Amino acid sequence: MKRAAYILVRNPLSLTGVILITLVVFGALFADFIAPFPEHRGAVVDFANFNKPPEWPYLFGTDLVGRDLFSRILYAYRISLLLGVVVLAIAVPVGVTIGLVAGYIGGWTEYVLMRITDVFLSIPPLVLAMSMMGLLEPTLTNGMLAVTAMWWPWYTRLVYNLTRSEKEEGYVLAAEVIGASKPHIIFREILPNCVPSIVTKMTLDLGFVILIASSLSFLGLGVQPPTPDLGSMVADGAKYLPDSWWLTVFPGLAILVAVFGFNLLGDALRDILGVDQ
């Protein structure tokens, strides 16, 4: 732990990452208290104050129906983080288990599982999610479903490669000789050795899920209004460039800040846990 603190302090970029993410998470969790206009996350109109550039008390300006952008961004962060956590909570266990089984059991199981994984991997990431979202109703739940469906194969591939090389290591052979059961070997021997890579990837992925989700909603395939969402805010605002620039720039920057922070954090974790690229 001390080593972790040492690495973080030595490297200003890693520290920046920690600070950024703390701010984002804090903002999302306590949006109700921090947001100057918490009711603006809903379907509120205030035409007296619509389309205002950033000025007090509207820190980031207002949108075309008069809602405070800053407040909406905070609530949008909440949704994004929730999406990220749920997606990973499902995709990671599924992907990791498939990867472990395919890597260790081998044979036909391996072939079939990996070919299925390949099918999902050979559709460019966004395309699969887009198609699914397009064909289903655009709700938050369906969004989670679509993103999860495209996410698990990455963990499968990561863990599969790790398992294949770990399979030949001494500790696995020793366990086999003792007669340990296959599930035991997979989950109690090999899995712990994969944890650093998995955890690093999960941290980076929190950022990427936000990226993908915002891309989906940018195209109109995400959550629907009036729920605040970073991607759709950018899309809506893009029509009014360059005059009402704040409508696109601030949500865009919000995405950038969150993902950037997770990337820095992931890099720092990689250094601390000593993971290879």
Task: Using CB under 8 A, list all residues that contact other proteins.
Answer: 13, 115-116, 118-120, 122-128, 130-137, 207, 211-212, 214-215, 218-221, 231, 234-235, 238, 241-242, 245, 248-249, 252, 255-256, 259-260, 263-264, 277
* H and E: helices and strands count for the chain: 12, 0
**Residues of the chain by 3-state class (helix, strand, coil), percent to 5:** 75, 0, 20
Our CB check for other proteins shows the closer of 124 and 183 to be 124
Our CB check for other proteins shows the closer of 51 and 131 to be 131
Those residues with Cβ within 8 angstroms of residue 169's Cβ, 6 or more apart along the chain or in another chain: none
In contact, 100 and 89? CB cutoff 8 Å: no
Kindly state the smallest distance separating residue 140's Cβ from other proteins, in Å: 17
Our CB check for other proteins shows the closer of 16 and 49 to be 16
Our CB check for other proteins shows the closer of 74 and 211 to be 211
Kindly state the smallest distance separating residue 237's Cβ from other proteins, in Å: 8
Our CB check for other proteins shows the closer of 35 and 259 to be 259
Coil, strand or helix at 62: strand
Distance in angstroms (rounded) separating the CA atoms of residues 216 and 172: 43
Coil, strand or helix at 63: coil
In contact, 36 and 75? CB cutoff 8 Å: no
Our CB check for other proteins shows the closer of 115 and 182 to be 115
Kindly state the smallest distance separating residue 37's Cβ from other proteins, in Å: 24
Kindly state the smallest distance separating residue 42's Cβ from other proteins, in Å: 25
In contact, 200 and 214? CB cutoff 8 Å: no
Residue that is written with structure tokens 């619509």 in the block: 50
Kindly state the smallest distance separating residue 11's Cβ from other proteins, in Å: 11
Kindly state the smallest distance separating residue 48's Cβ from other proteins, in Å: 28
In this structure, how many other beta carbons lie within 10 angstroms of the beta carbon of residue 266? 23
